[in-house]
Amino acid sequence: MVCGDRVEVRRDGDAGVIEAVLPRASLLFRSDAFRTKAIAANVTQLAVVVAARPSFSMELVQRCILAAEDQGIAGLLILNKSDLPETPAARERLNLLTRIGYPLVTLSALNDAAPLRPALQGHSTLLIGQSGMGKSTLINALFPGAEAMTAEYSEALDSGRHTTTHTRLHRLDADSAVIDSPGLQEFALQHLDTDALAHAFVEFRPFLGQCRFRDCKHESEPGCRLREAAAAGDINPARLQLFQTLRRHH
């Protein structure tokens, strides 16, 4: 069982006994060469929280979004700490994803989390991101009773201290929930084969299956539609490069 699972419970005195776990609409997990870890079930939206400080990994953001795409989960970008002077530069980096349709909400969780509420409506949203990006501050702003521990991130180390140690579900209203997950510094996609990985890049989809060779690895084969699309500017070359890097790590 993982956070977000729907279960049937039988009351047993003061306690409850879980009788059954209902079928999952989605299961989000990350995996490396050694193990697969389920993060949350029945998520309909994955929101990656970033901030201009400490610096965030654009590759990590994309890996999270790719895992969501594989499960048919919507992707959302949240740029927190919008009052920082480096925010425009951070937004520029996120263009790689906003340009292909991923929505972006910019806010300062310390001042006002209201801009995020419409994007959470009707969704079961998993909040994910590196430590120090302000996820706990955001949870505290959305759910004043949650009192998630927040920690000052260390400027010297340029990384946050992990404050959330387990995944928790918070109800926003009858139709909406937010799942808070521990800060992460890596997100491996070992469980996706080459085809699933290519399909997780939304902008690749119109070109898939059109290469000259059916088993095209989209590296240096002649007649590769993805490479042609990248050369023509229909696909950002940086995204094709990320795909190639991830595929080689398999």
Radius of gyration of the chain (CA): 19
What is the token pair recorded at 76? 């959302």
What is the set of domains in the chain, with CATH numbers?
25-180 (3.40.50.300), 194-248 (1.10.40.50)
pLDDT category at 33 given cuts 50, 70, 90 is low
The C-alpha atoms of residue 106 and residue 108 are separated, in whole angstroms, by 7
Nearest to 178, CA basis, from 23, 29, 49: 49
Higher pLDDT pick, 165 / 246? 246
CA distances from residue 187 to 18, 66, 74, 184 in whole angstroms, order as listed: 31, 10, 17, 7
What is the token pair recorded at 111? 């001042």
Torsion of CA 208, 213, 217, 220, to 10 degrees: -110
* Helix H or strand E encompassing 17: strand 15-21
Mean pLDDT of all residues belonging to the chain: 87
Average pLDDT, integer, range 16-41? 79
Higher pLDDT pick, 20 / 59? 59
Average pLDDT, integer, range 218-240? 95
> What's the confidence (pLDDT) of residue 7?
85
pLDDT category at 37 given cuts 50, 70, 90 is confident
Reported as half-sphere exposure (CB side, CA atoms, 13 A), residue 117 has a value of: 9
Higher pLDDT pick, 135 / 103? 103
Helix axes 87-98, 58-70, angle to 10 degrees: 30
Nearest to 179, CA basis, from 38, 45, 66: 45
> What's the confidence (pLDDT) of residue 167?
76
The C-alpha atoms of residue 120 and residue 126 are separated, in whole angstroms, by 10
The C-alpha atoms of residue 120 and residue 110 are separated, in whole angstroms, by 18
**pLDDT per residue as tens digits for the range 151-198:** 444 344 444 444 444 678 888 888 999 998 877 777 788 888 889 999
Span of 38-52, 92-106, 139-153 with lowest mean pLDDT: 139-153
Span of 79-93, 187-201, 230-244 with lowest mean pLDDT: 187-201
Nearest to 146, CA basis, from 137, 133, 156: 137
At a CB cut-off of 8 Å and minimum separation 6, what does 119 contact? 45, 47, 76, 103, 105
C-beta of residue 140 within 8 angstroms of C-beta of residue 147: yes
DSSP H stretches of helix in 157-236:
194-200, 225-232
Span of 69-83, 130-144, 153-167, 202-216 with lowest mean pLDDT: 153-167
pLDDT category at 235 given cuts 50, 70, 90 is very high
The neighbouring-strand residues paired with 79 are 50, 106
